[in-house]
Amino acid sequence: MSRPPGRKQENHKISRELFVLTYGALVAQLCKDYEKDEDVNTCLDRMGYGIGVRLIDDFLAHSAVKKCRSYSETADMIAQVAFKMYLGVTPSVSCSSAAGNEFSLILDKNPLVDFVEELPAERASLCYCNVLCGVIRGALEMVHLAAEVTFLQDRLKGDAVTEIGITFLRKAEDRKHKRN
């Protein structure tokens, strides 16, 4: 028997909704476990980093992308392929430095906050989606690109857009190793 058309897409939507609800429960539990928002943010980043380190293999196997030759190509690949592949959204990319090593990913729609109305007043410094920063940082490190990844703006905090900043620090192979 053949599958009805559209069934796979339906399962994808159910899986995404389950993921978003589960993620919300995870953040809520972390907020109960840690008093300080900074500790929750650090924990989410660390979790995301671990996910990114493992996710890059899946990404490379299923995306059939070629090696990026510049930071600009890398930022475009993250936005146009990775975000689309795993979250179903395509952020816009803008370069924010003359050196060409700082980029912003601007999300019109952030699927991780589909069921979140606003952050509680006592959690004003919580970076609810900080897992995304860790995922990006971990994945980039696995392809030998050191980067600093942070949330610059967040709609949950009243900003006009959700913006993730990526600053490429250097290529890992550019580092000079000192022998002791």
pLDDT in tens, 42-62: 999 999 999 999 999 999 999
Mean model confidence pLDDT for the chain: 87
Q: What is the pTM of this model?
A: 0.85
pLDDT in tens, 63-74: 988 899 999 999
Confidence of residue 180 (pLDDT cuts 50, 70, 90): very low
Query: Does the pLDDT of residue 10 top 80, yes or no?
Result: no
pLDDT in tens, 118-165: 888 899 999 999 999 999 999 999 999 999 999 999 999 988 899 999
The CATH H-level superfamily of 16-116+126-168 is Trafficking protein particle complex subunit 3 (3.30.1380.20)
CA distances from 153 to 57, 130, 159 (A): 29, 12, 6
